[in-house]
Amino acid sequence: MSGNGKLETKRIVTYAVVIILVALSLSYFIPGIHKNVEVNYSEKTLFVNNNTLVNGGVVSPPSYPLLTHQILYDPVHDYIVTTNDTSIFVINSSTDQVVKSVQFNYPYVPYHQLPPSFGDTHIFCDPLNGNIYFLNNMLNSTQVINGKTLQVKNFTSLSKAFPFVYDPFNNYFYGTSLTNFSIAVFNSSLSLVDTIPVPGFAIYLRYDLAYNPLNHDIYALTSSEVNHRFFYNISVISPENTITATINDSIPRGWFITYLPAYHSMFVCNTTTIEEINSTNHVRILQNYSYRYSNIAVYSVCMNDSSNFMLVLGNQIWVLYNLSESGGTLPSSNSYSTSSAPSYGVYNPKTSQFYIENEYSNGAISIFKIEVKEQGYAFSWYNPFSSF
């Protein structure tokens, strides 16, 4: 090959390398090809305080709302159970009407006048018999609503701990201890049978424990403090009630954990991020919404047992398809600020409805029927290699 030929070859190679480098550096701005997802839904709104059901969404929040805090599904009697600042409500999901309500907190009392027992009220639906347990701060006791008769009685066995999740493999219930911040273990009669110390302390929240049916382990959100800095972990508890692993949580301050059967994984949420943990405890960041949205608030995820989409709940209701494709947002009356959010939800497999609690809607529950399907492909002007 002549000298000119060699020079021309080098020039071509140099041009090719430059083009590749420029293409890679500009890839962030190249429109990404992704599936076009169509979301169809119907919506109702239930105001639990006056037991009023209306079609459509809520127009605007009241000036002084009653915040909703927790929502659970009772599969034995097909109830939706929720709370606000003052009361617990049992909803018959076949009619979407409140069939029982009990006041457990004093309304609008200044904090310095509250009794020592006042605080966040936890609820638990026993999947074995459909009974509903809750902390009554006005009576300074635990009470139970009989799922069959809806009668209310005192229940004295839960004075120092409260159950949150059931492990059908060993027939034990698990919850956070109220006294020493360990994990409490209950038998089927809800009597305390064991206490599991955890690194640091267990986070005493409403959604800090979850059961994985693949490995029969309980996953608990835990925290510790070193040099006045908090570190958050996930303690993995075996059916023998021992901690077999401690996962260093890559999400700072995770506050929601759940198992989603359709993906065979655990999911952890905080204000910006969703993290996935598989049955071998491999951890990956699934979505980081802070890259795309400002003033974000991600509290939890919700889906049915077999669908290919999930609802991401925060200051909006996002539809996430196949863990990666955006289906947009559902209309929400509570997108005014990050503190006024549809924070938690449950799915009822018998009615195929999602029940989403709306904090600043005076006790409103948004009820959705949702269908998601693919409609070809589309372009988006964002990094095609980004997770979302």
What integer best gives the mean pLDDT of the chain?
78
Residue 216: its pLDDT value, please?
94
Nearest-angstrom CA–CA distance, 58 and 361: 7
When pLDDT is cut at 50, 70 and 90, the band that residue 377 belongs to is low
When pLDDT is cut at 50, 70 and 90, the band that residue 110 belongs to is low
Is the pLDDT higher at 177 or at 264?
264
Q: With beta carbons less than 8 A apart as the criterion, state whether 286 and 251 touch.
A: no
Nearest-angstrom CA–CA distance, 40 and 318: 13
- Phi and psi torsions of 18, nearest 5°: -65, -45
Residue 12: its pLDDT value, please?
56
Q: Decide: pTM greater than 0.85.
A: no
> Is residue 74 scored above 90 in pLDDT?
yes
Reading the block at residue 25, the tokens are 């550096």
Nearest-angstrom CA–CA distance, 385 and 388: 8
Residue 101: its pLDDT value, please?
95
Residue 130: its pLDDT value, please?
94
Nearest-angstrom CA–CA distance, 191 and 204: 19
> Is residue 373 scored above 50 in pLDDT?
yes
> Is residue 135 scored above 60 in pLDDT?
yes
Residue 361: its pLDDT value, please?
62
Least confidently predicted of 76-90, 282-296, 328-342: 328-342
Question: Secondary structure of the chain in the HEC alphabet?
Answer: CCHHHHHHHHHHHHHHHHHHHHHHHCHHHCCEEEEEEEEEEEEEEEECCCCEEEECCCCCCCCCCCCEEEEEEECCCCEEEEEECCEEEEEECCCCEEEEEEECCCCCCCHHHCCCCCCCCCEEECCCCCCEEEEECCCCEEEEECCCCCCEEEEHHHCCEEEEEEECCCCEEEEEECCCCCEEEECCCCCEEEEECCCCEECCCCCCEEEECCCCEEEEEEEEEECCEEEEEEEEECCCCCEEEEEECCCCCCCEEEEECCCCEEEEECCCEEEEECCCCCEEEEEEHHHCCCCCCEEEEECCCCCCEEEEEECCEEEEECCCEEEEEECCCCCCCCCCCCCEEEEECCCCEEEEECCCCCCEEEEEEEEEEEEEEEEECCCCCCCC
Is the pLDDT higher at 325 or at 382?
325
Q: With beta carbons less than 8 A apart as the criterion, state whether 135 and 127 touch.
A: no
The dihedral built from the CA positions of residue 47, 51, 56 and 60, taken in this order, carries a sign that is negative
Nearest-angstrom CA–CA distance, 12 and 20: 12
**What is the chain's alpha carbon radius of gyration, rounded to the nearest angstrom?**
24
Q: With beta carbons less than 8 A apart as the criterion, state whether 251 and 261 touch.
A: no
Residue 78: its pLDDT value, please?
95
Length of the chain: 388
Residue 161: its pLDDT value, please?
79
> Is residue 89 scored above 50 in pLDDT?
yes
> Is residue 295 scored above 70 in pLDDT?
no
The edge-to-edge listing of strands for the beta sheet with 309-314 is: 298-302, 309-314, 317-321, 325-330
Is the pLDDT higher at 165 or at 62?
165
> Is residue 381 scored above 60 in pLDDT?
no
Is the pLDDT higher at 149 or at 300?
149
> Is residue 115 scored above 50 in pLDDT?
no
pLDDT in tens, 28-56: 444 455 567 788 889 898 988 889 998 88
> Is residue 10 scored above 80 in pLDDT?
no
Residue 4: its pLDDT value, please?
57
For 352, residues 6+ apart whose C-beta sits below 8 A from its C-beta are 304, 369
